[in-house]
Structure 1
Amino acid sequence: MSLTMVLLPVFVEVGLTFALLFWTKGRAKTAEAAEEFGLPTLFYALIALALPLRHADLAIVLLSWVFVVTRFVNAGLLRGADGRQRSLAWTASALVLLAMWLYFALKMLLLL
């Protein structure tokens, strides 16, 4: 079985997870817990795949740092982050992570 065939269902599941995270965002109090656990898990999975496959390039590293900084803001660990800023930080972190997954998926599926 080719690597592409093995990774394709992973990419589809990641897409579904992002769709559900964005869809449930702000719909209920319970969605907040799902959002917090979903993003770090997707981040760890991406890095766990990219490293052994030797696709953790400069773009992945830079986007990883942007993701981590937005997570600090979202967690309220940076001074002056109010509720609105934290919500925007969550959205920013989710979009950065989505960009990372799209970049990784395109590299893997198109063998770049």
Structure 2
Amino acid sequence: MSIQAVLAPVFAQVLLTFALLIMMGRRRFAEVGAGRVRVGDIALGERNWPPRVQAAANAFSNQFELPVLFYALVPLALLTRKADLLFVVLAWAFVATRLVHAGVFVTSNHVPTRFRAYMAGVLVLFVLWAVFAVRILLAPALP
């Protein structure tokens, strides 16, 4: 598989992270600018942000949890030449679950739907790691 094909889902995941960062910033500035939130109220924590702002912040923060395992796997798969079509399809599936998860988080925040998207991502990422591990551990030893 080409490097571009393997890295395309990574670029999409990074783009999602930046998009959520921008959304969070815009929502925060809007609340402060409208006078609904005073800087002193949020200077030491995020408890005083309105739910809509906190949802964007949580969605952004979430991009540094489960996706870390994705970011760790991609270079390993590239380095060991184990990134094939199955890997790329599963990588895109993982990113799709993250998009759905973040989308639910910043809109309806319907927890059961958000949880299903999260668990789908966990499952896809687990399969990615399991396939990679099996391919590495069962590969013939190099001389």
Q: How does 1:43-82 map to 2 (within 5 A)?
A: 43-76=70-103, 82=110
Alpha-carbon contact 1:46-1:101 (below 8 Å) kept: yes
Distance in 2, matches of 1:61 and 1:81, equals: 29
Distance in 2, matches of 1:90 and 1:55, equals: 25
Alpha-carbon contact 1:73-1:81 (below 8 Å) kept: no
RMSD: 2.8
**2:121 aligned partner:** 93
Normalising by structure 2, we get a TM-score of: 0.50
Is 1:106 aligned to 2:134, yes or no?
yes
Query: Offset of 1:81 from its aligned partner?
Result: 6.7
What SS class does the counterpart of residue 103 from structure 2 fall into? coil
Normalising by structure 1, we get a TM-score of: 0.62
Percent identity of the aligned residues? 44
| Residues 70 and 81 (structure 1), Cα distance of their counterparts in 2 relative to 1, 3 Å cut | farther
Kindly provide the amino acid, as one letter, of the partner of residue 87 in structure 2: I
| Residues 104 and 42 (structure 1), Cα distance of their counterparts in 2 relative to 1, 3 Å cut | same
Kindly provide the amino acid, as one letter, of the partner of residue 67 in structure 1: F
Q: How does 1:16-55 map to 2 (within 5 A)?
A: 36-55=63-82
Larger Rg: 2
Distance in 2, matches of 1:63 and 1:92, equals: 11
Query: Offset of 1:80 from its aligned partner?
Result: 6.5
Alpha-carbon contact 1:70-1:93 (below 8 Å) kept: yes
Q: Which runs of 5+ in 1 are unaligned?
A: 1-31
